[in-house]
Amino acid sequence: MQRRTNLGNLILPNVVVVILTLLMATAEAQGQIAFVSSRDGHVRDNIPGINDLPALEIYAMDADGGNQRRLTNNPASDHSPAWSPDGKHIAFVSERDGHVNGRGWPTFEVYVMAADGSKPQNITNDPDDDRHPSWSPDGKRIVFSSERDNDRDHNIEIYVMNADGSKPERLTNNLTEDEYPSWSPDGERIVFSARREGHVENKLGITHEIYVMDADGGNEQRLTENRNNDWAPVWSPDGKRIAFESDRKGDAVNFDIYVMDADGGNLQKLTNNRAWNGAPSWSPSSERIAFWSNRDDQFNADIYVMDADGGNLQKLTNNPHSDASPAWLNSPFSVSPAGKKFTMWGSLKQIDR
């Protein structure tokens, strides 16, 4: 009897691991990616001197590129979607409220809407720019960047607030820009991009580097150090790596996707072409990365996905207008809308690297 019990204790954990692995794979294949697109032809008419700039709307699709559907529909521009951890809401930024800055340009607010695009709510309601929302792993808070305390000419800081917009708290205090915050999976740290005194200053100004800090704004540490810009860092769901985009050629035109360990070590370049490859977003398993690129047409971006080592590149969108800023729903058991059949990655078009 004792031997049978011991054998069961050995087998059961392995069975659980197999089941969880299969569930993760199924959830990832059936998962959701939000993104922005100019495909509906809306034109922004609220920028002084510019009359033909396309407005962006937020869309969602299955992780295989299917079932693409529009979530927002208004003349203003909506972008930077971010899923809540439970998949029930999407935070995003919008200029729909008509606030303008001192130059007459529209400013953005952080909104939250239901996952189907209904019930959008302005949760920042500030006349200055609020951007780059990122949810805490428990879904209770949102970190974002803002110009609301801009007393030093284009000064951007990182703030955190409750998910309903209450109790905003400033986390950084820097002479230039702290932006693109992303929460770590354990909720303990925030990674972000910053321009700081002491960085290299090239022909385009002080460069951005990647930093990490505790969730309360303390214990800042610099993770990258190069002569050009590192932007848009995002933590892998397993907490081991950070993906970001970088123009290490220094032209602020050709960006590639890089991955490094969470401590800044083991840097790897995943894309390599003369285009802009940006806004990386991890799959729930930390095994794949979605991003946007204009590699096929410099005036038209599309959403791509690749393995975390840069291999197995696949194109998810393909239309005459730009698709960008993918955001993968990182709940490990996220599923497609009811009735949607299970879809394998093999159905996607394969692209040679």
pLDDT band at 329 (very low <50, low <70, confident <90, very high): very high
Q: Quick one: pLDDT at residue 58?
A: 97
What is the per-residue pLDDT for 203?
67
Mean pLDDT score, 305-314: 97
Give the whole-angstrom CA distance, residue 328 versus residue 246. 20
Domain ranges of the chain: 31-347
pLDDT-derived band at 200, boundaries 50, 70, 90: confident
Written in H, E and C, the secondary structure of the chain is: CHHHHHHHHHHHHHHHHHHHHHHHHHHHHCCEEEEEECCCCCEECCECCECCEECCEEEEEECCCCCCEECCCCCCCEEEEEECCCCCEEEEEECCCCCECCCCCECCEEEEEECCCCCCEECCCCCCCEEEEEECCCCCEEEEEECCCCCCCCCEEEEEEECCCCCCEECCCCCCEEEEEEECCCCCEEEEEEECCCCCEECCEECEEEEEEECCCCCCEECCCCCCCEEEEEECCCCCEEEEEECCCCCCCCEEEEEEECCCCCCEECCCCCCEEEEEEECCCCCEEEEEECCCCCCCCEEEEEECCCCCCEECCCCCCCEEEEEECCCCCCCCCCCCCCCCHHHCCECCC
Give the angle subtended at the CA of 273 by the CAs of 268 and 279, to the nearest 5°: 65
Q: 88 or 46: whose pLDDT is higher?
A: 88
Return the biggest CA–CA distance within the chain.
83
Count Cβ atoms within 10 A of the Cβ of residue 303 and give its class: 0-12 exposed, 13-18 middle, 19 or more buried. buried
Is the pLDDT at 20 greater than 60, yes or no? Answer: no
* ∠ Cα 283 285 287 (to 5°): 75
For the stretch 177-191, pLDDT in tens is 999 999 999 999 999
Q: Which amino acid, one-letter code, is at 22?
A: L
Token pair, residue 72, equals: 């927002």
pLDDT at residue 45, rounded to an integer? 65
Render the burial of 196-226: b for 16+ CB within 10 Å, e for the rest: beebeeeeeebbbbbbbbebebeebeebbeb
**pLDDT over 70 at 16, yes or no:** no
The pair of structure tokens assigned to 68 is 């693409």
Tell me the average pLDDT of the chain: 83
Task: Give 132's pLDDT tier (boundaries 50, 70, 90).
Answer: very high
Residue of 49 and 203 predicted with greater confidence: 203
The residue ranking higher by pLDDT, 335 or 174, is 174
Alpha carbon distance 68, 225 (integer Å):
39
Task: Determine the pLDDT at residue 296.
Answer: 86
Cα–Cα distances in Å, from 118 out to 29, 37, 110, 111, 237?
25, 18, 15, 12, 27
345 falls in which pLDDT band (50, 70, 90)? very low
For residues 204-224, give the mean pLDDT. 93
Average pLDDT (252-281) is: 93
Which carries the bigger pLDDT value, residue 251 or residue 300? 300
For residue range 229-246, what is the model confidence (pLDDT) as tens digits? 999 999 999 999 999 999
Best CATH choice for the domain 31-347 from the list 3.40.720.10, 1.20.1250.20, 3.30.43.10, 2.120.10.30: 2.120.10.30
pLDDT at 1: 53
In which residue are the tokens 């969880």 written? Answer: 20
pTM of this structure: 0.83
Please give the structure tokens belonging to residue 19.
Answer: 């089941």
CA distance 79 to 58: 6
Q: What pLDDT shows up at residue 108?
A: 92
The two structure tokens encoding residue 146? 């803002």
CB under 8 Å, gap of 24 or more: what pairs does 118-121 form? 120/72, 120/94
What is the pLDDT averaged over residues 107-123?
96
Q: How confident is the model at residue 319 (pLDDT cuts 50, 70, 90)?
A: confident
* CA–CA separation, 135 and 184 (whole Å): 10
Q: Give the type of residue at 237.
A: P
- pLDDT for the residue 151: 59
Q: Which of 323, 259, 257, 268 is nearest to 286 (CA)?
A: 259
Q: What is the pLDDT of residue 161?
A: 98
Given this model, what pLDDT does residue 347 score? Answer: 25
